Amino acid sequence: MTNFEVSHLKVNYRKNPVGIDDFHPRFSWWISSERRGFVQAAYQIQVAFDQMFDSEPRWDSGKVESDSNVHIEYQGPALQSRTRYYFRVRAWDDQGKVSGWSEPAYWETALLSAEEWQAQWIAAPLSHQRNEDDPCDYFRTEFSMPDNVVSARVYATSLGLYRLYINGIPADNTLFNPGWTSYNKRLQYQTYDVTSLLSGGDNALGCILGNGWYKGYLGWDGNKDFFGKERAVLIQLHVTLSDGTEQIIGSDDNWRTATGPLLMSELYHGETYDARLEVEGWSSPGFEDLDWQKTVVRDRPESALVAQENEPTRIIETIKPLAVIHTPKGEIVLDMGQNMVGWVRFTVHAEAGTIVTLEHAEVLDREGNFYIGNLRSAKQTITYICRGGGKETFEPYLSFQGFRYVKVTGIPQDQLLEQFSGCVIHTDLQLTGSFNCSDELLNQLQHNILWGQKGNFLDIPTDCPQRDERMGWTGDAQVFIRTAAFNMNIVPFFEKWLKDLAADQDEEGRVPHVIPDVPVAGYGSAAWGDASVICPWTLYQCYGDIRVLKTQYPSMKAWVEYIRVQGEDEFLWNTGFHFGDWLALDAKENSYVGATPKELIATAYYAYSTELLAKAAAVIGETEDAIKYEALHEKIVQAFRQEFVTPKGRVASPTQTAYTLALMFDLLEEKDRYRTAMMLKDQIEENGVHLTTGFVGTPYLCLVLSRFGYTDLAYRLVFQKEYPSWLYSVIQGATSIWEHWDGIKQDGSFWSDNMNSYNHYAYGAIGDWLYRTAAGIELLEPGYKKIRIQPQIGKHLTWVDASLESVHGPIKVFWKKQNDTSVEMQVLIPSNTMAEIIIPTMEPNRILESGAPLEQVISLYSVEQTSEGQRLIIGSGNYQFTFPLISEN
Ligand code: BGC
C-alpha cells in the first residue's frame, strides 16, 4: 500500500458537473500524501460509461510521464451528447511507486449540437403589448410517463429570466437562469437532472418567465427592452426508459399560458405579488387550464445556445435580522447587520388583501432614518398582497436587492424578527481563501472585501448591486480580479464573462465599458478596456490555465491593436475618452476624475497590456506575435519616458497614481525607480500618511511600496484610521466596501445621491496586498506550481493565519510572534509543488524547523543567503519554522 493517493477529481474546475458542452474537458486532481517532497512522475486516466470500470474503458491515457495534475485535456474518442462519463486517475511518484485508482468522478455532456434542439421557442400571445408593469408569464404542459423511467434531463433557457417546475416542485435550487450573457450573440441553457421528480402516469412541467436583464430596466436613464421586446422560453425534456428508448417532451404551441400572482418583477424595482391570484397546482398534473391561452411559437433567436458555463446562482446562506429599529420618523426597520445581496424571505399571518411592503436600503441617514437616496431610480420594493386564511411565506422569484436595512409595513411588529430571514444570493463559487490576523479592524476589512465580492458576483462581476446600474464594469473587474482569485475559484465565472467581452468587442477591437454591453455606458477607456488582457492573464497566473489565454487571445490582441491606432503616434495613447484615475482624491472640485493625466494612465496601461499580450503569445506558442509585441512594448515604454518623464528621470506628474503605475508597470529606467519610489513615499508622508489614489492607483499602491522596500509605510496606510483610508469605512461601521473613501463623511452626511454605493469592491483590491505581503503567499509559477512564502512581519500585527486552496491543493501560512524575540511560522505546501521560503534573518543557524536545525530538515533542497534573508527551497509538506524576530516593518 503506497502512502499517497489521488483525490479531489475535477472537470473544468467543477466536481461532477452535469450539462457541459466542452468537447475536450480538462481533468485535475490533488495528490494527498503525508510524505514531504512528493513529486508526481506519471499519471493514468481512464474514462468509461460506468463507474465500476467493468467494461473496456472508453479512453485510457495509459501511463503518461508528467508531473502535471491540472488541466489535463480529454484526448479520447469524440464525446456523445447527453452522456455521463466516469473517470478515475492513478499516479506514480518519483520512486516508481503507483497509487491506487482514485474514487471515480464524472461529468455529463449537454446537447453537443444545435440540431438536437427539437423544442420550439414559445411565448405568451401579445405579451409584448402588455401594460407598464408587465406581469410575469406562467407556462405549463402535461404529459404522461410509463413507470420505468431511468433518467430524465430538462434542457431549458429563455429570453428573460425563468424558474422551472416539475409536478409542482422547483426543478432545482438554481436562480436567475439563464444568467446574463451577450444575449444577441450567446445565450446559456441549463441542464436539470429531474429523474427523481418524475413518476409513472401523469406529470406536468411549469415555468414562470419574467423580464430580467433581457427585457427589464437596465441603466440609469429608465430604459428597458435592451435585448428584446418579447420574452420567450425553450424547454426540452429527455426521458430515458429502462428499455433504452427515449421520450422527448418539448415546448410547443400545445403548451398553455396565463399570468398569475407575480404582477411585476424587475431586477431594479423588486416584485409585486398578489397571493390571492395564486392558482394551486398550476405546475402539477390534473390542473384545469382551459381558461389559459395557447402559447405562440416564436422564431429561434440568432444567438448561439451554449451550455451553462459558470457555476449557477443560488441562495448561499441565510442570515437572521439583528434588530428591529424604530426610526425617528416612526419607520419600522429591520437591521440585517450585514450589507448583503439577495432577498428577504418572510412569513406572515394576516387577512386576505393585507398589503405587506418591504423596502431595501444600505444605510440609515445621520438622524437614523431609512435612506434610499443612493438607489437613484431603483425602487428595490417588494409588495406582497396576502391571500389570508393562515400562515403564508413569501420570497421573490426573479429580482434581487442590495441592502442591510429593510423597512417593513403591513406586518405586526412582534412577528418581525422571527418571521424574517435574509437570503444571501450569488454565484455558487467555491471559497478558496481565508485571511485572519491579530487585528480585528483588519479582519473586518477582509470581511468587507469578501462580502463585496459575494455581493457583486451574481452571475457577472458588477460594480454595485443596489442602484439602477449593477453592470459588468470592466475596470472594476480588472482591478479586483487578483483579490477575487484568492477568495474564491473564479475561473468558470470569468471564463463566461470574458467570452461575452470578446463577443461584445467591436470589429475595431474596442471594448465596451460594461460586459455584457449595455449601450448607455460607452466604449474604449484605458484601464477599463484593459480588462480584456489583464483578466485572462491573471487567471493564467493564478490557476495555470492556458486554455483561457488561448480562448481570449484574439480578443486580447484586438484590444492592443485597437489602442495602437488611437494615438497621434502608435506608441502613445493620448486621444479619446478615458475615466482616468476614477474617484481619486486629487481630483478637481466636483470632478470624479483624478489629477493623474489620462494619457499617462492610458499609455501606461497600453504598455502593460502589450507586455502581457507578448507574454501570453509566448505561453500559447504564438512565437512571432511574442517577438512583435515585446518589441512594441519596448517602444511604448520609450515613448512613455519621452512624454511623461523628464530627462533627469522625474515623473512629470507628481501624483501618487502616476508614480505607482510607472513603478508597477516597470516604465522607468532602473536608475530612476528607487528615486521615484522615495518620492511616492515622501508624497504619502507629507500627506499625513494618506493616499489620494482612485480606482486606478489604489490596487497597486501598497504592492509598489512593498516592492521598493517601504512595506512599513504600506502597513501604516493600511492601519490608518483617519479618512481617507481603508479602515475609515470599517470604523464607520461598514460591512462591505464603499465606492467612495468617504461614502459617509465625518459629519455623518453622505456623498451625493447621483453616485454613492456602499457595496463597490474596487477599493477591496487591497486584499491582494494582504494575502501576498502580510501573509506572504506568492506564486512563482502559474497555478502556484512553485510558491514563494515571504510574509512581511509588520509591527502592527502579532500573527497572521492565511490559507489558499490552489488547483494543486491547500497552501497555508500561520506566523506568530513569540514574546517579541522570535517568530513561529507554520507552512503547508501542497504535494507535487515546490516552495521558496524567505526567512528574514541573516543567521541561518538560528532557524529551526520542527525544533531541528536546517541541515536535518527532510526535503529542504537548499539554503541561500539573500539581501532579504535566508532563501530555503523546500518540497511539499507541513513545516514548523522558528526564527529570530529582527527587523519589524
Ligand atoms: C461605476 C463604476 C465604474 C465607473 C466608471 C460608475 O458608474 O459604478 O464602477 O467603474 O462608473 O466610470
Q: Read off the pLDDT of residues 864-874 as tens digits, 9 standing for 90 and up.
A: 999 999 999 99
Q: How far apart are CA 528 and CA 282, in angstroms?
A: 47
Pocket of ligand 1 (CB under 6 A): 463-464, 469, 473, 475-476, 579, 582, 695, 755
Q: Which of 467, 468, 473, 763 to mutate to test the pocket of ligand 1 (most atoms within 8 A of CB)?
A: 473
Instruction: Give the distance (Å) from ligand 1 centre to CA of residue 335.
Output: 28
The confidence score (pLDDT) of residue 34 equals 86
- Are 559 and 615 in contact, with CB atoms under 8 Å apart? no
Tell me, yes or no, if 56 is annotated catalytic. no
Joined together, the cell numbers standing for residue 105 give: 468522478
- Are 716 and 774 in contact, with CB atoms under 8 Å apart? no
Among the listed residues 862, 878, 776, the one whose alpha carbon sits nearest the alpha carbon of residue 828:
878
User: Which residue's C-alpha cell is 473587474?
Assistant: 477
**Ligand 1 atom index nearest CA of 513:** 5
Q: How far apart are CA 844 and CA 864, in angstroms?
A: 9
Interstrand relation of 834-839 and 786-789 (parallel, antiparallel or unpaired)? parallel
Q: How many Cα neighbours within 13 Å face the side chain of 275? A: 25
By the 10 Å C-beta count (0-12 exposed, 13-18 middle, 19+ buried), 845 is classed as exposed
pLDDT lower than 50: segments of the chain: 889
Q: pTM of this prediction? A: 0.97
Q: For ligand 1, atom 8, which residue shows the shortest CA distance? A: 463
Please report, to the nearest 10 degrees, the dihedral formed by the alpha carbons of residues 124, 129, 133, 137 taken in order.
0
Catalytic, out of 469, 495, 599, 849? 469
Phi, psi of 596 (to 5 degrees): -65, 125
The confidence score (pLDDT) of residue 126 equals 66
Contacts of 95 (CB under 8 A, 6+ apart): none
Among the listed residues 124, 98, 73, 120, the one whose alpha carbon sits nearest the alpha carbon of residue 292:
124
Q: How far apart are CA 369 and CA 588, in angstroms?
A: 32
Report the chain's terminal Cα–Cα distance, integer Å. 48
Among the listed residues 496, 494, 457, 430, the one whose alpha carbon sits nearest the alpha carbon of residue 22:
496
**Ligand 1 atom index nearest CA of 757:** 8
- Are 121 and 162 in contact, with CB atoms under 8 Å apart? no
The answer to whether the bond into 465 is cis (omega within 30° of 0) is no
Q: What is the 3-state secondary structure (H, E, C) of 113-153?
A: CHHHCCCCEEECCCHHHCCCCCCCEEEEEEEEECCCEEEEE
Among the listed residues 310, 305, 25, the one whose alpha carbon sits nearest the alpha carbon of residue 189:
305
The confidence score (pLDDT) of residue 3 equals 82
Q: For ligand 1, atom 2, which residue shows the shortest CA distance? A: 463
**Ligand 1 atom index nearest CA of 464:** 8
Q: How far apart are CA 133 and CA 272, in angstroms?
A: 9
Joined together, the cell numbers standing for residue 316 give: 448561499
Instruction: Give the distance (Å) from ligand 1 centre to CA of residue 463.
Output: 7
Q: For ligand 1, atom 3, which residue shows the shortest CA distance? A: 473
Q: What is the 3-state secondary structure (H, E, C) of 521-555?
A: CCECCCCCCCHHHHHHHHHHHHHCCHHHHHHHHHH
Q: How far apart are CA 172 and CA 177, in angstroms?
A: 11
Q: Which of 525, 582, 756 to mutate to test the pocket of ligand 1 (most atoms within 8 A of CB)?
A: 582
Joined together, the cell numbers standing for residue 643 give: 512624454
Among the listed residues 3, 382, 421, 341, the one whose alpha carbon sits nearest the alpha carbon of residue 176:
341
DSSP 3-state assignment of 626?
helix
- The helix (H) or strand (E) run that includes residue 441 is helix 440-456
Catalytic, out of 5, 271, 739, 778? 739
DSSP 3-state assignment of 74?
coil
Q: For ligand 1, atom 7, which residue shows the shortest CA distance? A: 755
Strand partners, 203: 143
Q: Which of 221, 375, 377, 476 to mutate to test the pocket of ligand 1 (most atoms within 8 A of CB)?
A: 476
DSSP 3-state assignment of 277?
helix
Among the listed residues 833, 825, 876, the one whose alpha carbon sits nearest the alpha carbon of residue 850:
825
Tell me, yes or no, if 805 is annotated catalytic. no
Instruction: Give the distance (Å) from ligand 1 centre to CA of residue 473.
Output: 6
**Ligand 1 atom index nearest CA of 476:** 10
CA 518 to chain centre: 20
